[in-house]
Chain A
């Protein structure tokens, strides 16, 4: 059973989002990193890039797979997790903490309401 923190919101494409006064931190869920296996590379957006919810924002790669990351909310990328360049395994080891991917200054507060709650995300992965 993978961990799904109740205080976060989730995209159906397995990103999590955490809102701190309009700054949304984005990562991938424990379930997603587990399905990918050991990550070997993470491609992140550029700081300053403006994304709409659902836009491709990066890629996570394991040895045998690559998966796109989508922006869960709209806004400007204000920070990326540069530690991942040398340590992509942070996403495997601490997906909800040191393995975060990037932060967005959210432009449409309503975007968060379109995301899944922990319970809804739990139900989704059980039905997969």
Chain B
């Protein structure tokens, strides 16, 4: 594939997409703006025709892998099918043109969807209240830990300065704890992928504000001691935070609320099939147990006795941790999740956990059969699992990164690599419930072929990929000689 020029290189002075903007106004219409506040030179935006723009960005799009084109088994990212119907519904003019500050009289349709979505999420997670406000998983985490802090502060319990986090956790967990003013203490994970319970008990104390964890964990296994963990943290006076990154594994099968979690966030761009959009937007609603209800972030949707809907905002819930965005978060993403929840319904949601787990366990067994090494061979996979290529790296000099890059040549997106950090040379693989058996089998065939290549032509694998728009990039040059904007 050829190098695509930058949009700036297509620019010609005086060219424009004339149908896209109103005609020029005479300068006297701008006389109310004082001259010293006026921009002296027009911004150097591209001067291009409408078709040039359409062709340029359509061509760029073709340089991406995407779920709509490829199997995309990124662990902990839940790259499932994003229903097109959800996109169309969220883009209906009534939703698209609604101003976020439109009065309730002109917002009943939108509010009704949000109110119902809150209830669905409450039900399926076993929590007592849900706020849809956080705009991403990381912001959901922030809201959750901020609520834990608000809870302790309201009780005058200010000695709690520490958040416990298993060492396998996502980087957002410790980063979030720090954003909420806490110190982080990491808890070791045992050889079977479960938390080291004795170490956890020792770490718990009057300084413990809470524990953040995922379950199934980032090791791709269900944390079997969850009730003992919950007891230890609660007895120490801490609260239990559920990172919903892996909720897809247990949707409809186990509810975080029933496991003893006090606060959770959900990633709707994972579990509820809203698109990842090349890196966002997502949505990270939070759910809470009874004792954290007063602190939920605003605004939320409420319902009056007469059936009409209204906003619940910080003026009526003054204990709330407040607003996390100018308005109410990523509303359009929430509408897509609402569509998905309605189309799945009760039975559909139960099947998510079941079939994502079936797909992962099947893929794991088949990959083991073609010579891959499981990190936790004695455990059931959850909706994802870990392979380690430590042996290949040592004996053949072929690393997990090399295998990942070679997969691209087989038209398979690479799994998550080098995460969690505690397993060397690893892949974290999550196939999701929406991939057919044939798609899983094709991935197995590709992996088998690459393992063979790693033995017979290791140097070739180390130089992969060969079929993509670019070869491996010089990341060191990118970081040392920063080039972050185009200069004409």
Using a CB–CB cutoff of 8 Å, the interface residues on chain A facing chain B are 38, 40-41, 61, 63, 88-89
Chain A residues whose CB sits within 8 angstroms of the CB of B475 once the complex forms: 63
Residues of B within 8 A of A40 (CB): 476, 479-480
Complex Cα spacing A121 to B364, Å: 42
Q: How far in angstroms is the closest Cβ of chain A from B160?
A: 25
Set of chain B residues within 8 Å of A61, measured between Cβ atoms = 479
A81 to B481, CA, bound (A): 19
Q: How far is the CB of B165 from chain A (nearest CB, A)?
A: 19
**Interface SS majority for chain B:** helix
Q: List 13 A-B contacts (CB under 8 A).
A: A38-B476, A40-B476, A40-B479, A40-B480, A41-B479, A41-B480, A61-B479, A63-B475, A63-B476, A63-B478, A63-B479, A88-B480, A89-B480
Q: In the complex, which residues of chain B have a beta carbon less than 8 angstroms from the beta carbon of A63?
A: 475-476, 478-479
Q: Give Cα A15 to B30, complex, Å.
A: 62
Chain B residues contacting A38 (CB-CB under 8 Å) are 476
Residues from chain A with Cβ under 8 Å of B479 in the complex = 40-41, 61, 63
Q: Known pairs A40-B479, A41-B479, A88-B480. 8 more at Cβ < 8 A?
A: A38-B476, A40-B476, A40-B480, A61-B479, A63-B475, A63-B476, A63-B478, A89-B480
CA–CA, A61 to B478, complex, Å?
13
Residues in A whose Cβ lies below 8 Å from that of B478: 63
**Could you tell me the distance between the alpha carbons of A63 and B476 in the complex, rounded to whole angstroms?**
6
Question: Which 10 residue pairs across A and B have the least CB separation, nearest first?
Answer: A40-B479, A63-B475, A38-B476, A40-B480, A63-B479, A63-B476, A40-B476, A88-B480, A41-B479, A89-B480
Chain B interface residue count, CB cutoff 8 Å, equals 5
A84 to chain B, nearest CB (A): 12
Tell me the complex Cα distance, A80–B479, Å. 22
CB closest residue in chain A, given B401: A64
- CA A31 to CA B405, docked complex, whole Å: 28
Which residues of A are found within 8 Å of B480, using beta-carbon distances? 40-41, 88-89
Q: Which of B454-488 contact A (CB under 8 A)?
A: 475-476, 478-480
Q: Identify the closest chain A residue to B476 (Cβ).
A: A38
Residues on B with C-beta less than 8 A from A88 are 480
Q: What separation, in Å, do the CA atoms of A98 and B480 have in the docked complex?
A: 18
In the bound complex, what is the Cα–Cα distance between A61 and B476 (angstroms)? Answer: 11
Q: How far is the CA of A58 from the CA of B362 in the complex (A)?
A: 47
Q: Nearest B residue to A40 by beta-carbon distance?
A: B479
Chain B residues within 8 Å of A89, by CB? 480
Complex CA distance for A54 and B475, rounded to whole angstroms:
32
- How far apart are A93's CB and chain B's nearest CB, in angstroms? 13
CA distance A61 to B480 in the complex (A): 10
Bound state CA distance, A89 and B478, in angstroms?
14
The distance in angstroms between the C-alpha atoms of A38 and B475, with both chains bound, is 10
> How distant is the Cα of A83 from the Cα of B230 in the complex, in angstroms?
52
Nearest to B478 among chain A residues (CB) is: A63
**Which residue on B lies nearest to A63, using beta carbons?**
B475
Q: Name which residue of chain A comes closest to B480, CB basis.
A: A40
User: Chain A contacts of B476 at CB under 8 A?
Assistant: 38, 40, 63
**Interchain CA distance A38-B478 in the complex, whole Å:** 12
Q: Please give the distance in Å from B67's CB to the nearest CB on chain A.
A: 26
B421 CB, min distance to chain A CBs, angstroms: 11
Interface residues of B in 93-145 (CB under 8 A from A): none
Minimum CB–CB distance from B370 to chain A (whole Å) comes to 29
Q: How far is the CA of A40 from the CA of B479 in the complex (A)?
A: 6
List the A residue with the shortest CB-CB distance to B475.
Answer: A63
Q: Report the bound CA distance from A40 to B475 in whole Å.
A: 9
Q: Taking the nearest CB of chain B, how far is it from the CB of A40, in angstroms? A: 4
A36 to B480, CA, bound (A): 15
Nearest CB to that of A38 among chain B residues? Answer: B476
What CA separation (Å) do A10 and B301 show in the bound complex? 60
User: What is the distance, in angstroms, from B174's C-beta to the closest C-beta of chain A?
Assistant: 14
B111: shortest Cβ distance to chain A, in Å?
45
Q: In chain B between 152 and 180, which residues have their CB closer than 8 angstroms to a CB of chain A?
A: none
The residue in chain B whose Cβ has the minimal distance to the Cβ of A41 is B479
Q: Which residues between 293 and 329 of chain B lie within 8 Å of chain A, taking CB atoms?
A: none
Least CB distance, B453 to chain A, in whole angstroms: 25
Least CB distance from A33 to B in Å reads: 13
Distance of A63 Cα from B478 Cα, bound (Å): 9
A51, B66: Cα distance in complex, Å: 50
In the docked arrangement, what's the CA distance between A56 and B398, Å? 36
What is the CA–CA distance of A11 and B130 in the complex, to the nearest angstrom? Answer: 50
CA of A111 to CA of B3 in the docked complex: distance in angstroms? 57
Q: Please measure, in the bound complex, the distance between the C-alpha atom of A102 and the C-alpha atom of B93, giving whole angstroms.
A: 61
Bound Cα distance from A89 to B481, whole angstroms: 12
B216–chain A nearest beta-carbon distance, Å: 26
Tell me the complex Cα distance, A40–B476, Å.
6
Minimum Cβ distance to chain A for residue B478 (Å): 8
What is the chain A residue whose CB lies nearest that of B481? A40
- Give the distance in Å from the alpha carbon of A74 to the alpha carbon of B466 in the complex: 52
Separation in Å of the A65 CB from the closest CB of chain B? Answer: 11
Which of A40, A41, A88 gathers most chain B CB within 10 Å? A40
Q: State the Cβ distance, B404 to closest chain A Cβ, in Å.
A: 14
* Minimal Cβ-Cβ distance residue in B for A87: B480
A82 to B310, CA, bound (A): 60
CB proximity of B137 to chain A, nearest CB, Å: 22
Say how far B465's CB is from chain A's closest CB, in angstroms: 18
Within the assembled complex, what's the spacing in Å between the Cα atoms of A40 and B474?
A: 12
Q: How far is the CA of A79 from the CA of B171 in the complex (A)?
A: 34
A63 to B479, CA, bound (A): 7
A63, chain B: closest CB distance, angstroms:
4
Q: Give, as a whole number of angstroms, the nearest-CB distance from A56 to chain B.
A: 14
* Closest CB in chain A relative to B321 CB, distance in Å: 30
Query: Which residue of chain B has the shortest Cβ distance to A88 in the bound complex?
Result: B480
Give the docked Cα–Cα distance between A61 and B479 (Å): 10
